[in-house]
Amino acid sequence: MKSRLLHLAPLVALAACTPSPRTDLALPAPPVPSTVAITPVSGASQQLVAAETVPSCWWTSFGSDKLNALVGEALAHNNDLAVADATLRQSREQAAAIAGAQGPQADLGYQAQRIRVSRSLSNPLPDPDIYLYSLHTAQVTVTYPVDVFGAGRNHVRSARAASAAAAARLQAARTMVAANLVLAVIQRGSLTAQVAATRSAIESDRQLLQLLRRRQQLGDVGEVDVSAQQTALATVEAQLPAIERQLAHQEGLIATLLGRAPGAALPAIPGFGELALPQTLPLSVPADIVRHRPDVLAAEAQVHGAAADLGAAIAARLPSIQLSGTAGGSATRLADMFADGNPFYTLIGGVTAPLFHSHQLLHQQRGARAALEGAEAQYRSAALQAFLDVDDAIAGLQTDAAALDAATRANDAATRTLFFTRRQVELGAQGTLALLNASASAAQASVQLVQARASRLTDSVALFQACGTAP
């Protein structure tokens, strides 16, 4: 049994079985079409081209210099990115420190002592009448761990894998910050358009209310019609504060992403109409997604680290060899430390083998193997989630086109209905109840149209983010 490692040959054989990360995790590759054309009737068309590399500065596809400047400022001053960058630098230094610990270690020491001995004790000095003297000692100590079974090498691999995972997390954080900022700008533009549409509806309803009040003074309409129009005006006015609150939240979010305090002055932010819909979008194949998605790369690095930890756990059950040496001199006078007879040296070679640890090392090895299996499962999960994100983004872009066409038709119809109904009310041919319904329908259709246009932009961002950017 492996728990009874009593001979050197089985030990060496076991050391040679240090696991390495699997590169073929049997991921099912979803089918990817070569080209997908999205051609709505009411908006610009988009082409999704397979195997096209996602540009690292994908946000430039929206054609706004203001947006490019915002993203550049966020990548330079965002606090979450500063944390991720510091974590990466820390992990790299830790990996370098662990690698340095596997090489020779040399230490220089110097010690000066002032000693007084008792007369009743034998004096180690040549002159037995000297009881008070100084002793100077200088020495160099060199140690070297002989990594026969790979424990040190696996510790180094694990530390470097942790550093690679931190680098992938930094890239993921950069992608997330850029995506969140672009989405916040799109949402702010959408809300700004909704605020403008709502204020336009409020102004129109106020004008109509003034007209009805003049007609009431002339006896053409009654109090019921005026009250109904007041209700319509108040209903639209009640919608405005909620939209303005969302707008203020998005502006505060933009400031936070830029590393500024909410409420601080913001740089120029592009409006909804200043953002161009990307005409060509990348459609990465599964191999590119796995190679470029930062979260998948981080999961892969964790597999490497877990495999190295398992190798270190196996090596911990095997003998360890330590070589050390000390050389120096000792004398009562500093100048005589290296005179004849005063230099000294020590050479030590030691082998330590675990004999009985109450199965502690065995259970540590089993735990490390379970950690490796869990890391492999996390890698597969991350890859499958990446495939799902791409699939959701493609489906979202396709349904967005249909939603845009429907929202455009609804908005056109609602606008015509409101125009004719308003004219009929002004001429007295229609009651205010019909106008109330037409006004509510027009306001809702206008908001839905703005949201449909914003959805095409946000799902374009989602596809960029899902495919992963090339390093």
Q: Say which range, 139-153, 269-283, 415-429, 430-444, has the weakest mean pLDDT.
A: 430-444
Q: What's the whole-number average pLDDT of the chain?
A: 85
The pLDDT value recorded for residue 35 is 75
Angle CA 292–156–175, to nearest 5: 25
Question: Which residues of the chain are in CATH 2.20.200.10 domains?
Answer: 104-146+319-353
Domain with residues 104-146+319-353, CATH architecture = Single Sheet (2.20)
Q: In this model, does residue 426 exceed pLDDT 80? A: no
Residue identified by tokens 């068309």 is 45
Of 387, 389, 380, give the one whose Cα is nearest residue 23.
380
Question: Which residues of the chain are in CATH 1.20.1600.10 domains?
Answer: 30-102+151-315+362-467
Reported as a single tens digit per residue, the pLDDT across 310-345 is 999 999 999 999 999 999 999 888 888 888 888 988
What is the band of 216 on the pLDDT scale with cuts at 50, 70, 90? confident
What CATH superfamily is the domain 30-102+151-315+362-467? Outer membrane efflux proteins (OEP) (1.20.1600.10)
Name the strand (E) or helix (H) holding 323: strand 320-331
Bridge pairing between strands 46-50 and 35-38? antiparallel
Reported as a single tens digit per residue, the pLDDT across 274-285 is 999 998 888 877
Of 75, 36, 44, give the one whose Cα is nearest residue 58.
75
Q: Say which range, 4-13, 197-206, 407-416, 443-452, has the weakest mean pLDDT.
A: 4-13
Residue identified by tokens 């190295």 is 308
Per-residue pLDDT averaged across 257-263, rounded?
92
Reported as a single tens digit per residue, the pLDDT across 366-420 is 999 999 999 999 999 999 999 899 889 999 999 999 999 999 999 999 889 888 8
What is the band of 4 on the pLDDT scale with cuts at 50, 70, 90? very low
Q: Quickly list DSSP for 359-399.
A: THHHHHHHHHHHHHHHHHHHHHHHHHHHHHHHHHHHHHHHH
Reported as a single tens digit per residue, the pLDDT across 241-252 is 999 999 999 999
The pLDDT value recorded for residue 299 is 94
Q: Say which range, 37-46, 74-83, 231-240, 417-426, has the weakest mean pLDDT.
A: 417-426
